[in-house]
Amino acid sequence: MSPDRLSVTFAALADPTRRAILAHLAKTGETSVTELAKPFEMSLPAISKHLKVLERAGLIVRGREAQWRPCRLEAEPLKDAADWIDQYRQFWEESLDRLSDYLHELQTKEKQDDQQK
Q: Is 61 in the site for a copy of itself (CB under 8 A)?
A: no
Question: Looking at 5-13, 43-51, 61-69, 104-112, which segment touches a copy of itself (CB under 8 A)?
Answer: 5-13
Size of the site for a copy of itself (CB under 8 A): 33
* Site residues (CB under 8 A) for a copy of itself, limited to 11-40: 11, 13-16, 19, 22-23, 26
Question: Over the Cα atoms of the chain, what is R_g?
Answer: 22
**Bridge partners of residue 31, in order along the sequence:** 71
Please give the Cα distance from 87 to 30 (Å, whole number): 32
- Comparison of 46 and 111: residue with beta carbon closer to a copy of itself: 46
- At closest approach, how far in Å is the CB of 67 from a copy of itself? 27
Q: Is 82 in the site for a copy of itself (CB under 8 A)?
A: yes
